[in-house]
Amino acid sequence: MRLAIVGAGAVGRSVAELAGDYGHTVTAIADSSSAAVDPDGLDVAAVFERKDAEGRVGTAEPEAALDAAYDALVEASPTTLDDAEPGFTHVRTALERDRHVVLANKGPVAERYEEVMALAAESAGNVRFEATVGGAIPVLSTIDNLGAKNVTAARGILNGTANFILSRMAAEGLDYEHVLAEAQDLGVAEPDPTFDVDGTDAALKCVILANVLHDGGYTLADADVDGITDVPGSALDLATEDGRTVRLVGEVDDTVRVGPRLVPGHGTLAVSGTENIVQLETRYAGRLNISGRGAGGPETATAVLGDVGLLE
C-alpha cells in the first residue's frame, strides 16, 4: 500500500521507518511546517536526516501530503481537543478522496466520532484507529471480534506516564514532583506532562472506547476526569501498608470516569512502570485482560501498521 503520513513525531517517524518491513511504500510525509512527497516512494532515512538537520521533512507545503498519491492516510499529528483540528480536516480530505484513514491522533474519534463515521459511510475508504487506545495492545480489534454489544464495560490503566509516576511513588516512598522530574529525565514523561497527569489522555482513550461500545455519543466533555497531581506520597504509603495501591484507572460503561482509585497491591490492574492494561467485561465470556506497551513510537506504529494491513 502507498502511505501518506501526517505527523513526523515519534509515531509518524516509526510508521515511516517500519512501513518497508510491512511491504508498504511511503509516498508522502508531512510535519507541521513542510512535506516531502514522492509518488514512487520516499527515501525515509533521507527525509528524517533532513528533519534532524533542518527541523523540517521537506520543501513542499504540508498540504501537499494530503494531495499526494496514496491508498491510506496515516494521521499521526498531535492530538487536539474540541474541534480536533487540523486532524479532522485531514481525515475528511482523505475520505472525500475515497482513501482509507488510519488514526494515531485521538482527537477526531474522541471529539467528533459521529462526523468521522458519517464521512466514512459516504466514502469508499475506511477509518481505523487501533493506535488511539492502548498503543500496541489490540483493544479495538478485540472488541471488534467480540462484538461491541457483547462488551458490557471496559476499564484499565491507559496512561503509562501516570502509571510510572504512581508505581515509583509507591515503591520508593517519594513525592509526586520528585518522581515526575525523574520520569522527565528518563523520557517517560514529556516536558509538558499536563495531559498525562491530569487524566486527559486516559480520558480521551476511554471516550473512544465508549464511542466504540455505544456507537458514538461521547466526547471529552462527557467524561468525569481527575488526575494524579493531588496524590501525595503519604497516601500511597498508607495504601501500601494495607496491601493496596493507587492507580489512575479509566472506567467505561454508560458513563466515562477517570481518576485515582484504590486497587489491590498485587491485583491485575496494579501493573507497574509504563505498562498499560485493559479489562473487558463480556456478556458471555467473563473478563478479558489484555496488557502491554501503551505508548512509544514503534509500539504505536505497530498498531497503525496492523490497521493498514487490515485495509488491504
The footprint of other proteins (CB under 8 A) covers 155, 226, 230-235, 237-239, 241-242, 244, 246, 249, 251, 259-264, 267, 269, 287
List CB contacts of 234: < 8 A, sequence separation 6 or more: none
Q: How far is the CB of 178 from other proteins (least distance, A)?
A: 13
Which residue, 259 or 298, has its beta carbon nearer to other proteins?
A: 259
Question: Is residue 104 packed enough to be buried (19+ CB in 10 Å), middle (13-18) or exposed (0-12)?
Answer: buried
Which residue of the set 51, 106, 149, 205 is catalytic?
A: 205
Q: How far is the CB of 202 from other proteins (least distance, A)?
A: 14
User: Are the CB atoms for 162 and 228 separated by under 8 Å?
Assistant: yes
CA angle 226, 227, 232 (to 5 degrees): 120
Closer residue to other proteins, CB minimum distance, 30 or 231:
231
Q: Which is nearer to other proteins, 100 or 261 (CB)?
A: 261
Cell of 308: 493498514
Residues with Cβ < 8 Å from 252, sequence gap 6 or more?
153, 154, 155, 206, 209, 210, 213
In the complex with other proteins, which residue's Cβ is closer, 217 or 264? 264
- The least distance separating other proteins from the CB of residue 176, rounded to whole angstroms, comes to 11
> What span, in angstroms and rounded, lies between the C-alpha atoms of 222 and 252?
11
Does residue 149 carry a catalytic annotation?
no
Nearest distance, CB of residue 250 and other proteins, angstroms: 11
Which residues are identified as catalytic? 205
